[in-house]
Amino acid sequence: MSVYDVFRERGFIEQVTDEPQIRELLEQKSVTCYIGFDPTAASLHIGSLVPIMSLAHLQRHGHRPIALVGGGTGLIGDPSGKTEMRQILTRDQIDHNAECLKKQLSRYIDFREGGAVLLNNADWLTQLNYIEFLRDIGRHFSVNRMLAAESYRVRLEKGLNFIEFNYMLLQAYDFLHLFRHYNCLMQMGGNDQWGNMVAGIDLIRRMEEKTTYSLTFPLITTSQGNKMGKTEKGTIWLDAELTSPYEYYQYWINTEDGDVARFLALFTFLPMEEIVAVKALSDARLNMAKAVLAFEATKITHGAEAALGAFEKTAQLFGCRSVETGLFPSSTIPRPDVTGEAHIVLPSLSLSASGTSSLPIERRRLDEGIPAFELFHETNLCASRGEARRLITQGGGYVNDRQFAAFDERIGLRDVDERGEIRLRKGKKRYVILSVR
RNA sequence: GGAGGGGUUCCCGAGCGGUCAAAGGGAGCAGACUGUAAAUCUGCCGGCGAAGCCUACGGAGGUUCGAACCCUCCCCCCUCCA
């Protein structure tokens, strides 16, 4: 089975330039393909996971992926898919971000000798000479046709800056450069990149008289129509410092019912035969599928140990529901023991020890007791005391799973559990753990 | 450069001298129902322990007992013309 079939089957493909030829191409032993990543931030987020996974699949099938960090194009700003001009970052910021992305990408793809290649287009773009570039490259572009491109047409209504208008040329030039120096035959990317990718293909045809290809990924949205990885609380980053493995795990476990199978296909490596079975699941067993999704996705991004930590913390906070042995046999998520009845035996480790944030609190403050709403504010569970008061009055505040009777009820020593911790909870999902010292 | 139209709380968007912490919608938060899902219903949704006070309607001044609303200057955005 070729990667192309894998892409098809798992939902990675939105558009391709030439299906039969690309299929044939990818059946060969080692093809070089590239994807660009914008260094607009110091970390990638879930939105970049589809491209990342595609590179990983390519590599698993013996091809050579090139991850191109847009250190040079980042200085310009891609207008595609954006309604407003992007904030222009400084050279230093871009360089810093590009470095960070390199590190991050190497968690998914093997860049060691002979493996994938990691490049930064700043290396060649910043060397360009304006006049030469116009004469050699610019002359191959028709402004009329560029204006017809979807990405520019949208922006024409809002205002398109000249600097951004050049983005397409630079990206096309990247492809040309990679074709010449790395024999890169295909570019992949989000569907909003289609125009830029095709521009590269045209440029290569004109200058080198060779045919190259491109493949775009669908823009992944949830069945609610929301962009992946953006929650109201902010972006879900791939960097453990910015989004903890636990939060990452939680993001996935909160996947909507209708998205579970699709996401398992895109964001895990579990075999499709197992994923297809999700259709038959409902209720509790569908939630098991979500746990598997969360576990596998977390494992890919943060490693097995972190995934296990997130799994355990989740089990402790939300109660342990183990995944049946028969479901997703390929997943390494912890299972009930052989009898199939008992719950997973979890080490009763302190929650704060399971790699999650906990806040210290001094014992003597608990002697007198602290009014609940004050503590909720202090721990950032609520943005203001007023909000905390309202929350608790309405029944949304809990200590150790006990709902407060009054907003100014005092939290004191009697609320400390045997592990020396106090668990504050807001609603169903937000926890803060206080460890007494 | 000229002419016109705008900038209101997280977003959209009403308000055009007191009754405005500012309609309505969206988002968000919580409760109920559930499955840490969705949908639905209910409540909340600037800050301060309450009556009250403070901070807010692009910025700075001014008129007025009183200004988001009127006047002046400035800044920013959009449309048309050049």
Per-residue pLDDT tens digits for A297-348: 999 999 999 999 999 888 888 876 678 888 888 888 888 754 444 344 444 4
**What predicted TM-score, i.e. pTM, was given to this entire model?**
0.87
For position A229, what pLDDT does the model report? 73
Could you say which residues of chain A have pLDDT below 50? 338-355
Closest residue (CA to C1') to nucleotide B48 in the complex: A386
Element (H, E) at A430: strand A430-436
Global ipTM: 0.85
User: CA angle, A263 as apex, A218 and A313 as ends, to 5°?
Assistant: 140
In chain A, the domains with their CATH numbers are 3-217 (3.40.50.620), 230-318 (1.10.240.10), 349-436 (3.10.290.10)
Tokens 């070089």 map to which residue?
A32
Q: In the prediction, which pLDDT does A102 show?
A: 86
Rounded Cα–Cα distance for residues A50 and A268 (Å): 10
Q: Which pLDDT value is given to residue A110?
A: 92
Q: Phi-psi category of A234—alpha, beta or left, where left has phi over 0 and alpha has psi -120 to 50?
A: left
> Would you give the distance in Å from CA A413 to the centre of its chain?
41
- How far, in Å, is the CA of A194 from the C1' of nucleotide B78? 30
Any bridge partners for residue A237, and if so which? A45
pLDDT of residue A209: 92
pLDDT at A376: 92
| C1' of B80 to CA of A160 (Å) | 18
Distance A78 CA to B82 C1' (A): 31
Per-residue pLDDT tens digits for A113-148: 888 999 999 899 989 998 999 999 999 998 888 887
Specify the pLDDT at position A86: 58
Q: How far is the CA of A241 from the C1' of B32 (A)?
A: 37
A152 close to A165: Cβ distance less than 8 angstroms = yes
What does the alpha-carbon distance between residue A321 and residue A41 come to, in Å, rounded to a whole number?
Answer: 37
- CB under 7 Å from any atom of strand B: which residues? A 157-159, 224, 232-233, 250, 253-257, 282-284, 286-287, 290, 314, 317-318, 321, 371, 377, 383-387, 389-391, 394-396, 408, 426-430
Q: Residue A379: how many CB atoms within 10 A of its CB?
A: 16
For residue A269, the model assigns a pLDDT of 96
| CB-proximal positions of chain B, under 7 Å | 27-32, 34-39, 43-50, 77-79
Residue nearest to nucleotide B43 (CA to C1'): A394
Spatial distance from the CA of A374 to the C1' of B50 (Å): 17
Contact (CB, 8 A) for A267 and A53: yes
Task: Give the model's pLDDT for residue A346.
Answer: 45
pLDDT tens, position by position, A222-264: 877 777 776 656 788 999 988 889 999 999 999 989 899 999 9
**Which run of H or of E encompasses A421?**
strand A421-426
How many whole angstroms separate alpha carbon A126 and alpha carbon A81? 25
C1’ B10 / CA A334, Å: 41
